[in-house]
């Protein structure tokens, strides 16, 4: 997939955001930390909204073969870029909230968020790949579920209410993460597998691509919602 995406693009799409996040977590100022979080979020949100509002309708007006051709060029790049932007935005936002003392009683809430993301996302991945009977998927699902439940069990005695704004933000992050990592990213992998098969099914590629473009619009709405919540957190108080 890296070759189809262009190796330089794939490496840059992963390395630049991750290195920027690593720097601000270790040595960066609050301003630099905020910049990395906001810029990753702006790119993530902007690309999703562009896909839903502009690219999706344009591609939707093309015939099946033309749609499939566009998605074959477009999907490999998105597979590298979007998950990294999502991770950097989410991790950057949570660590920034902790750094600014906006996130009281964080550990049990993070454990709850982790469980609410991991189990549904892995379930959706298993469903899309028809992997429920695959021992490898079963092993991954079992280990991830047990680890997530154990993390929650360890932190639950310390549970106390965090701020309402933070709780709402975490809920939106759960929706975005499950949709992104459980539906959109597996869809891109399924398209890639179809592209590289002996007899690619252009209808299937086009259908999954259009589904992902529409779902990107739903993600965009939730991303705009969390921007509103973040502005309230920063300037409206708790």
Mean pLDDT of 64-91: 89
Give yes or no for residue 185 having a pLDDT over 80.
Answer: yes
Q: What is the pLDDT of residues 148-164, one digit of tens each?
A: 999 999 999 999 988 88
Alpha carbon dihedral 124, 127, 133, 135, in 10-degree steps, equals -40
Distance of CA 24 to the CA centre of its chain: 20
pLDDT of residue 238: 46
Q: What is the pLDDT of residues 38-49, one digit of tens each?
A: 999 999 999 888
Mean pLDDT, the chain, as a whole number? Answer: 90
pLDDT of residue 10: 87
Task: Report the C-alpha gap between 30 and 49 in whole angstroms.
Answer: 28
Whole-prediction pTM: 0.89
Out of 33-37, 39-43, 57-61, 218-222, pick the least confident: 57-61
Structural tokens at position 118:
């991991």
Structural tokens at position 201:
């099914």
Give yes or no for residue 165 having a pLDDT over 70.
Answer: yes
Contact 23, 31 (CB under 8 A): no
Contact 206, 68 (CB under 8 A): yes
- Concatenating the DSSP letter of every residue in the chain gives -HHHH-HHHHHHHHHHHHHHHHHHHHT--HHHHHHHHHHHHHHHHHHHHHIIIIIHHHHHTS-HHHHHHHHHHHHHHHHHHHHHHHHHHHHHHHHHHHHTT--TTHHHHHHHHHHHHHHHHHHHHHHHTT-TT-HHHHHHHHHHHHHHHHHHHHHGGG-----HHHHHHHHHHHHHHHHIIIIIHHHHHHHHHHHTSSS--HHHHHHHHHHHHHHHHHHHHHHHHHHHHHHHHHHT--
Give yes or no for residue 96 having a pLDDT over 90.
Answer: yes
């Amino acid at each position: 997939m890296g070759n189809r995406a262009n190796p330089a693009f794939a490496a840059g799409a992963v390395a630049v955001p991750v290195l920027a996040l690593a720097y601000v977590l270790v040595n960066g100022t609050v301003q630099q930390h905020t910049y990395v979080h906001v810029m990753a979020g702006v790119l993530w949100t902007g690309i999703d909204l562009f896909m839903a509002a502009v690219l999706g309708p344009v591609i939707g007006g093309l015939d099946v073969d033309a749609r499939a051709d566009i998605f074959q060029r477009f999907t490999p790049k998105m597979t590298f870029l979007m998950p990294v932007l999502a991770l950097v935005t989410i991790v950057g936002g949570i660590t920034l909230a902790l750094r600014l003392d906006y996130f009281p009683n964080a550990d049990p809430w993070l454990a709850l968020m982790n469980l609410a993301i991991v189990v549904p996302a892995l379930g959706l991945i298993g469903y899309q790949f028809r992997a429920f009977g695959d021992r490898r998927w079963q092993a991954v699902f079992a280990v991830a579920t047990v680890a997530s439940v154990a993390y929650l069990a360890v932190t639950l005695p310390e549970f106390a209410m965090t701020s309402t704004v933070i709780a709402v933000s975490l809920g939106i992050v759960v929706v975005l993460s499950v949709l992104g990592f459980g539906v959109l990213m597996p869809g891109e992998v399924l398209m890639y597998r179809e592209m590289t098969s002996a007899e690619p099914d252009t209808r299937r590629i086009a259908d999954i691509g259009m589904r992902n473009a529409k779902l990107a619009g739903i993600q965009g709405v939730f991303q705009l919602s969390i921007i509103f919540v973040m502005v309230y957190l920063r300037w409206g108080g708790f």
